[in-house]
Structure 1
C-alpha cells in the first residue's frame, strides 16, 4: 500500500470509522475492546486491516496537536467543529489540501481510485461517486465559508459524501443488517443528515 493511499484512508477513517467510547490517545487494543455502535455498515473488513491500525496513529497525532485527546471518539464525533479541524489537519499534514484547507482533487481522486479498485463492486461506481462528492463538498463549503478563521469543512463534507454513497451502494450480502445500521441507511436514503447526526452520533 503506497503512502498516498494511506493518506486517503486517514481521511475516510475519521469520518467513516467506528465510534469508540475511549479517549483518542489510547492504544489500538484498547480501542477494539470498547466499541460503541459503528457508523460503518458495510462489512468489507477494513476495521480489522493493518491499514486501519496505521491511520489511527496519524489521526491521534492531529488530535494531540489540536488538543482533542481528552475527548472520547463519541464526544469527538458530536463535536462538529473539532472534527472538521481534525480532518483539515490530516489533509494538510499529508499534502492532500493546500494552506487554506482546500482539497487537492487530482491527487485525492487518483489515490481513491487506486485504493477502492481493490473492491470489485466499487470499480464501476468510482468515477461517478468521486465527481459527485467533490461537487458536494464544494457546494457545502460555499454555504459555510471558512473565511472567518474557522477550519475548512471541505474535507469533512467530501468524506461524509463518500461514506454515504458507499454505505447505500454496499451489496446486500455485505450489509450489516442490525437495527442500528438499518436505521442509518434509512436516514441516508431520505437524506436526513440532521436526523442521522442527532440519532446515531450520540
Structure 2
C-alpha cells in the first residue's frame, strides 16, 4: 500500500504509537505485543495490527514487535531524522504559549520564525525565536523556505493571512482560528478548535456518552 492510500485515521495514530514506543525504549523494553500497546494507547489491538500492516511494520509471532526496530522504523516514517522549521503567525496569548513550548518534546519540529503586527514585540527575540513584522511575512517565508505555518491570528484576519501564506509557498497550515479556510487542493489545513473540543467533551459528560 502506498502512503497516499493509507487511511487518514491510521496516519493520525502514528505519532501516538511513536511516542509510546519511545517510552518503552527508554525503559529498556525490547518487545511489545499489540495487546499491550493497545491497552497503553487505548486503541484496539486489531486496529494496531492493521495500522502497522498499512505502514509495512513487521511483527514476530510469539514475540510481538521489536521495540527498537519499530521505533527506528517510525522515526523514518515521521522523518524524525530531519528537522522541520515552521512559522508562527500571530504572537498573542496563544502564540506566546506556543513559542514557550516550541515542541521541546520533539526532535524534529521547531518554530523558527514568528510574525505579528505589534510594534512592541516586532524586531525582538521571544523564547529564542525572532519576531518579524507581518508586512515582511511573504518575503521572509520565501527566504527561509518555510512551508508549514501555525495560524493564531484574530479570526477576521484568518483568510487574508492564509491567502498570503499560500502566496509565499506554504503547503501546510495548522489553523487555531474558528474560521474554516478556503485553500487550493495542494494545501493541507489541520484545524485545531479548542473551544469546540471542550464543548464536545462537556456535551458527552452531560449526556452520559462514553
TM over 0.5: no
Q: Which has the larger Rg?
A: 2
User: Which structure shows the bigger proportion of residues in helix conformation?
Assistant: 1
- RCO higher in 1 or 2 (8 Å CA, sep ≥ 6)? 1
Superposition TM-score, scaled by structure 1 size: 0.29
User: Which structure shows the bigger proportion of residues in strand conformation?
Assistant: 2
